[in-house]
Structure 1
Amino acid sequence: MVSRAPRSHFPKPPLDGLRKRLKESRDSGHQQRGAFIRESFRLPRLAAREKAREWFEQYPKAAYWTEIESWYERPGDIIEFTMRRLPNAD
């Protein structure tokens, strides 16, 4: 005999709002968890270095807490990395 969990008498909440927010965040190319905005890249080494410089120029570290959050060296001299920054300067 297989025992089953009792069924809930409460209806499931609608997930349309959550689906819409997830789609919008994925379409924008930016991820935001907590106070930081993150963007991930997968580029050849020289292009990756240039992209990181662009971020540090556009969002200075002192004002936006910009940093390279993580990076990995992939085969073929490809660098996969995530940049992180605050959404605005104080």
Structure 2
Amino acid sequence: MVSKAPRSQFPKPPLDGLRKRLQESRDGTSQQRGAFVRESFRLPRLAAREKAREWFEQYPKAAYWTEIESWYERPGDIIEFTMRRLPNAD
């Protein structure tokens, strides 16, 4: 007599949400990574400062945790930077 392995008493969870997130990530349609919304810019220095000010005025740091996540100085006085914030304020 051959005994079978006992079946798990817990059903497998649905994977539809995971499939959707993976597909969005592969398609590049997802605007968020984790809990933050990110947007990258590549602007001349003065325009980059103005863009960062706009973000901090529109999404106050105290409510949205707005910050400049990373920045790089490129040739020709170009600043490449990524802003991040929470999607909404609580």
Superposed pair shares fold, TM > 0.5: yes
SS in 1 for 2:76: coil
Q: What do residues 42-74 of structure 1 show as CA deviations (whole Å, max 9, x unaligned)?
A: 000000000000000000000000000000000
Runs of 4+ in structure 1 off by over 4 angstroms are 1-30
Q: Which moved more, 1:55-64 or 1:28-37?
A: 28-37
Seen in structure 2, the aligned counterparts of structure 1 residues 10 and 43 have a Cα distance that, compared at 3 Å, is farther
Cross-structure match for 2:16: 16
**How large is the RMSD of aligned CA atoms in angstroms?**
6.1
Q: TM-score scaled to structure 2, two decimals? A: 0.69
In 1, the alpha carbon distance for the partners of 2:7 and 2:78 equals: 50
Secondary structure of the equivalent of 2:12? Answer: coil
SS of residue paired to 2:69:
strand
- Per the normalisation by structure 1, the TM-score is 0.69
Bigger drift between 21-30 and 10-19 goes to 10-19
Q: Which runs of 5+ in 2 are unaligned?
A: none
Pairwise CA distance, 1:23: 9.2
- 1:31 deviates by 3.1
Deviates more, 1:13-22 or 1:51-60: 13-22
SS of residue matched to 1:57:
helix
SS at match of 1:55: helix
For 1:45 and 1:7, locate their aligned partners in 2 and report how far apart those are by CA, in whole Å: 63
Q: Percent identity?
A: 92
